[in-house]
Amino acid sequence: MFKVRYCFILLVFLLSSSITWAQKKVVTMKIDDVIDPRMNRYTELALAFAEEEEADIVIIEMDTYGGAVNDADDIRTRVMEFSVPVWVFINKDAASAGALISIACDSIYMAPGSSIGAATVVVQDGSAAPDKYQSYMRSIMRSTAEANNRDPNIAEAMVDEDIEIDSISKAGEVLTFSTSEAIKHGFCEAEVNSIDELLELNDITDYSISEFTLSSSEKIIRFFLNPIISGILILVIIGGIYFELQTPGVGFPLLAAIIAVILYFIPYYLNGMAANWEIIMFIVGIALIALEILVIPGFGIAGIAGLIFTLGSLILVMLNNDFFDFSFVKASEIFQATATILAGLFGSLIIMFFGGVRLTNSRLFKRIALQMVQNRSDGYTSNFKQESMAGKTGTAYTVLRPSGKVIIEGALYDASTRGDYIEKNDKIKVINDEGTSLKVKKLDE
């Protein structure tokens, strides 16, 4: 009896194992928005997830009007090099860059009323880009179609309106296929209404589907890529630096500015939009502004250059430019990025003027800042000199601009002017000796 029961359990185990082995693992992902660095990163993460899940098939649900060619090319290459079959289910539109990615997939399926094509490269105003970009798009469309045994001439006709194919495309019109036309000319395997129907059509009845979704951390990164959030971060960056300079040593405004810088740049960097040179440009800009404020009196070339570098880098980070090449950047994107930065700048200026007074009167500020006045008449003084130095003369030991050191009667003292420049070895006269340093002026000879 025991042997029979044992054999029965073993048989059940083997049967269940065989069923598990036969089951197909399907991973689905969606390209349902503009193709840009964010979508580029999304597809990279999705395919990495498919590898971890040991998927047998990856299905892309497509509905996009296209986007950046360089990001589409990255996705195309990633799809073509993937180790398991990648199928695409076009659920309405696969235009422009979306058509390129679809053709890169091993199989194409389309919902009723869908379309594929219209892959002409356009610039900011919607007009066709220069021929060198069209030539590049024609080339990758052709090579992608050839790699997947599709007609390369038809793929090219989706880019170039001058290509005419008998009974398929007319000169002067960029080729776009409906579902039935795509099936007829080999750019679609079949018309389906859903992913389940797609799998059933391929005799896959026992399967498990895992839909890729962004993790919480990736959703947070996308949250900080929102232009409104970017504007708020810029406000914190500029406002934090300003209040730190107004109340040096407090630390909190500077810490807030540093955190805002990190939250601003890291999401764009992870999404491939913030290039190293753009981050370096920002650092150089801040350094120039600090140099102007702390070392060079007034506000001149260094300060203006610092503002241009700082604000320019913040704008460029938001744009998918290739080292100042804006061929594939829409005018609306440039306007939005510039408006976001300017809104953050003016917002911080408003806070500086109207919020500064409120800050100094706040309970928190009074806890960390000295509020009482230490008058000399009350016995407060920082003058520890045995005798008054006012009226005494000496020599500038260093250049004073406006601070430096002077020699008086063989002793070295810290000194500063009221904004004047005094060269080394110039004669000086002490006009005030209160405080920790002497206040001097140049002695006219």
| pLDDT, position 334 | 79
Write down the architecture of domain 382-442 according to CATH: Beta Barrel (2.40)
Q: ∠32-38-42 over CA atoms, to 5°?
A: 70
| pLDDT, position 53 | 92
| pLDDT, position 7 | 58
Rounded Cα distance between 142 and 157, Å, is 9
Fold of 19-213: 2-enoyl-CoA Hydratase; Chain A, domain 1 (3.90.226)
- Cβ-in-10-Å burial (0-12, 13-18, 19+) of 187 comes to buried
Instruction: List, in order, residues 6 or more apart from 317 with CB less than 8 Å away.
Output: 264, 265, 268, 273, 274, 278, 279, 282
Q: For 351-363, what is each residue's pLDDT tens digit? A: 666 655 555 566 6
| pLDDT, position 355 | 56
| pLDDT, position 18 | 45
Q: Say whether 444 sits in a helix, a strand or coil.
A: coil
| pLDDT, position 86 | 96
Q: ∠213-217-222 over CA atoms, to 5°?
A: 75
Q: For 180-238, what is each residue's pLDDT tens digit? A: 999 999 999 999 999 999 999 999 989 999 999 888 877 787 787 777 788 888 888 87
Is residue 84 within 8 Å of 148, Cβ to Cβ? Answer: no
What phi and psi, each to the nearest 5 degrees, are found at residue 33?
-150, 180
Residues of the chain with pLDDT under 50: 2, 17-20
Which tokens in the block code for residue 187? 């750019």
| pLDDT, position 20 | 45
